[in-house]
Amino acid sequence: MHSKLEVAKRRESKRTLFRLARITEFSALFVLIPFLYYLRLFPIRVLLFLWILSGITALYLWRHPKVKMRDLLRWDVPKEKLNFVLKRFAILAVLAALAVYLIAPDHFMDFPIHRTQVWLVVLIFYPIFSVIPQSLIYRIFFERRYRVLFSKPWYFVIGGAITFSFMHLIYENWVAILMTFVGGIFFLKTYLDSRSFLLSCLEHSLYGCLMFTIGLGRFFYLGSGS
């Protein structure tokens, strides 16, 4: 009886140490580093760090026994899930465009009108160089590595959205924080509901390209101010 109690205590101690180690890792990666970027104290450029971290993430997922990397490239999405994502985007795109047109008409569509070639380059390369690594880190890796820290599914979704938005602290404005918090909920929930990495990337790309098109991209430049 005494030995069983000791075994139980050792197991509980291991679980506690595991949880503390995972919380420490989570805090360093998703709280400390973004905050250091905000203070301009982190020495690596943001995009470069994003790709380094996504590379490490991809290696972790490749070695994970419950993750099959080839499944990430499969487009096996229920029609109703795709329709829901596209309909929600269409509605919000119209509302967002109307809001920009009414509130800040000088900025409405200024990027595609005045810098058309650069805008087209952004639309092509933004999904590849920004969305894909963010999706790997903040959806796939985040779920596999840190879901154990959240006791309920919605705590996990909200925690993921907060984490995703906190990364955008570097842009120094509340608009980027608010929009990426809402987007973080959408993108993570889409992935969890569909189990489709590609659908989550598509949704993320649609909203990101929308921001750059209708005049909200200025909130996603370093030093954009508040």
Structure tokens at 221: 């430049």
The answer to the question of residue 200 being in a domain is: yes
Distance CA 189, CA 83 (A): 15
pLDDT bin (cut points 50, 70, 90) of residue 116 is very high
Inform me whether the pLDDT recorded for 9 exceeds 80.
Answer: no
Mapping DSSP to helix (H, G, I), strand (E, B) and coil, where does residue 215 land? Answer: coil
Q: Which residues contact 214 (CB under 8 A, 6 or more apart)?
A: 93, 96, 97, 100, 108, 109
Tell whether 96 is covered by a domain. yes
How many domains is the chain built from?
A: 1
pLDDT at residue number 221: 78
pLDDT for res 6: 74
Kindly give, in sequence order, each residue whose CB lies less than 8 Å from that of residue 136, ignoring residues fewer than 6 positions away.
54, 57, 58, 61, 197
- For 10-56, the pLDDT digits (tens) are 777 888 899 999 999 999 999 999 999 999 999 899 989 999 999 99
Q: What are phi and psi of 187, to 5 degrees?
A: -70, -40
Say if 174 falls within a structural domain. yes
Q: Which residue has the tokens 């075994």?
A: 7
Asked if the structure places residue 182 within a domain, the reply is: yes
Segment 77-104 shows an average pLDDT of 96
Kindly report the CA angle at 182 between 132 and 149, in degrees rounded to 5? Answer: 75
Confidence class for position 225, pLDDT limits 50, 70, 90: very low
SS3 42: coil
At residue 2 the predicted structure's pLDDT band, cuts being 50, 70 and 90, is low
Q: Is residue 88 part of a domain?
A: yes
Task: Give me the torsion for CA of 3, 9, 14, 20, rounded to 10°.
Answer: -170
CB distance 184 to 160 below 8 Å: yes
What sign for the dihedral angle of Cα 76, 77, 79, 82? negative
Which pLDDT score, from 0 to 100, does residue 39 have?
Answer: 93
**Considering the domain boundaries, does residue 9 fall inside one?**
no
Q: Residue 205 and residue 47: Cα distance in Å, rounded?
A: 16
> What is the residue type of 62?
W
User: Is residue 226 very low, low, confident or very high in pLDDT (cuts 50, 70, 90)?
Assistant: very low
Inter-residue contact 176 to 220 (CB < 8 Å): yes
8 vs 100, which has greater pLDDT?
Answer: 100
| Residue pointed to by tokens 């999904």 | 127
DSSP SS3 for 172? coil
The range of the structural domain enclosing residue 177 comes to 47-220
